[in-house]
Amino acid sequence: MYKSIKDYMRLNNGIEMPILGFGVFRINDNDETADCVKKAIKHGYRSIDTAMIYGNEAGVGKGIKKSGIKREDLFITTKLWNSDQGYDETLKAFENSMERLMVNYLDLYLIHWPVPKNNKYIETWKALETLYRDGKVRAIGVSNFNISHLENIITQCSVVPAVNQVEFHPWFLQTELFTYMRQKRISAEAWSPLGGGALLDNETLLDNKILMGIAKKYNKTVAQVIIRWDIQKNVITIPKSSKEDRIASNANVFDFELSDQDIKTIESLNINHRTGPDPDEFDLGT
């Protein structure tokens, strides 16, 4: 059982990835991003998740430099954007991300969306395999891939994705996808673990009242309960905040353990509701 922010998930290639990380989605200013990353590292986070399309890779790089923590003690993830898919385009985009991040290797590189209409994610994946074989990336994975997309990679390529970062929260369990991923030893990582904040902000919402009842039982916040639920579900989690008190609070989830009944209660809130796009349809920026 995970008892510390230092605890990790062992990926299918043996690489150790922290079970809790810090996301920087929608922290658009590079100076603000650098400050947030530095604060997150101060509060014990060692995994930082960004993406080219976030526009803050340079800020993440600055924050890492300012933190004073050795590069090898951090786990850095970024993602390839839709318009950069294709074999040669991917290799070029990777080098550009490395330059902005000011690092000489990545811990995890993800294809951000499958964009099946373009039908480039297989050749894109083969470029990631090249980066992996060349030692420029310690692990490679995908984001927002459904079963059909994963199956195509597994049957047509050499390396099984180590991670699939997908929307996952109490309203959206993706049970079939997660069952498939467990069978293929693909680790799950949650984006929008708090349902885009909708599960936190509306105190008149019945689901929120249920979560508040569980939180009161453990003397925790609703956000802490959901993050702990993710972790006990063996889902790597990357909550985002630009406020230092919430950055610290989101990491304070290792001194309690949800009961089996409370886990079931949280799962009962599932309504198969996405807050983000459907991966079979999304192609913005291609």
Q: Which amino acid is at 120?
A: K
Reference 250, options 272, 232, 228, 283; nearest CA is 228
CB contact at 8 A, 85 and 120: yes
DSSP 8-state assignment for residue 139: E
Return the active site residues: 54
Q: Which residue type sits at 182?
A: R
Total Cβ atoms within 10 A of residue 187: 23
**Which residue shows structure tokens 């309504």?**
271
Q: Which two tokens stand for residue 279?
A: 């991966």
Distance CA 167, CA 267 (A): 15
- Whether 161 and 150 have beta carbons less than 8 Å apart is answered as yes
Rounded distance between C-alpha atoms, residue 234 and residue 228, angstroms: 10
C-alpha dihedral over 84, 90, 94, 96, to 10 degrees?
Answer: -50
Q: What are the backbone angles phi and psi of residue 75, rounded to the nearest 5°?
A: -120, 110
For residue 225, give Cα distances in angstroms to 6, 50, 124, 188, 270: 19, 24, 37, 19, 16
Alpha-carbon distance of 232 to 130, in angstroms, equals 34
